[in-house]
Amino acid sequence: MTGQRFGRDPLAELATDPATAEILAAARAEIDALLWRRDVRSNAVEVAASSMERGARDSAAIDGADLAVVDDSPMGRVLDAAIRLTAAVPGQVEVFATAPLQALAHLHALTATGFVPDDELGRPRAGDRADDPLNLGAVPPAAAASERLSLLARTLTTPTEAPALLVAAIAHAELAVVRPFTWGSDLVARAAVRLVIAGRGVDPSLFSIPEHGMFEMGRPAYVRALQGYSSGTREGVLAFISWHTTACAMGAKAVP
């Protein structure tokens, strides 16, 4: 995804790294254990609703909107946007599986309403301006961003032997690094994790809270992981996958 060529199934080849495979297996085991919990299954609606609420709040907090309640402040509006976005994810899981760009556009339009002009809602940016809540620095040019967004869509709709958690990591990183929208790309990137793990059967009811793990691991670690990914090296990509998969495991453990 970042310019490296690993073969006909590049995602599956990444999963052959022994340390990566071990982390992926451990995280999947944590999520499986969550899904088998009797108390979770008997309270499925409540657990899923709590996951959405906590996930939205943690995602907003990563961007600096760590608030108890939604208000009319700039950060309060970010929290409100994150809540709208996360609540809309379940309705886009099936769409994302076959038409990921359509699902992402829909989610972005919901999220960015009130933050960008109407003609930018759900549309890739036409220029080189994008918000940068994580202070990642310059964004790829618009043409390159559009190309990588199309490549991501093809990757997500091409059969792969790679574990779903690895696919989720790549989707997250691409959207967060490329920042295809003028505002809210990183919120959408974190929501995409839920789209992947639900659509590929890892956590179909979305009980786990991957955003919680990301928040708990700390913003500096998150930024370093994304910077490693954006380097385009195999080591940087694997380091991001490791960080991301650990966050997902923590998100499974966070369900009370």
- Determine the longest span between alpha carbons in the chain, in angstroms: 50
- 22 against 4, higher pLDDT: 22
What is the tens place of the pLDDT at every residue in 72-119? 999 999 999 999 999 999 999 999 999 999 999 999 999 999 999 999
CB 27 within 8 A of CB 252: yes
Per-residue pLDDT, averaged over 246-251, amounts to 99
What is the tens place of the pLDDT at every residue in 115-146? 999 999 999 999 999 999 999 999 999 999 99
What does the domain layout of the chain look like in residue ranges? 10-253
pTM of this structure: 0.96
227 exposure class (CB count in 10 Å sphere: 0-12, 13-18, 19+): middle
Is residue 160 pLDDT above 50, yes or no? Answer: yes
What is the tens place of the pLDDT at every residue in 180-207? 999 999 999 999 999 999 999 999 999 9
Which of 1.10.150.120, 1.10.630.10, 1.10.1270.20, 1.10.3290.10 is the CATH number of 10-253? 1.10.3290.10
Per-residue pLDDT, averaged over 246-255, amounts to 99
- And the tokens for 120? 């930018």
| Residue of 195, 192, 197, 199 whose CA lies nearest to 174 | 192
Rounded CA gap, 208 and 34, in Å?
8
> Whole-number mean pLDDT of the chain?
96
Give percent above pLDDT 90 in the chain.
97
The pLDDT value recorded for residue 8 is 83
Rounded CA gap, 173 and 179, in Å?
10
The pLDDT value recorded for residue 7 is 58
Is residue 6 pLDDT above 80, yes or no? Answer: no
Question: Token pair 């409100």 is at which residue?
Answer: 80
Rounded CA gap, 47 and 51, in Å?
6
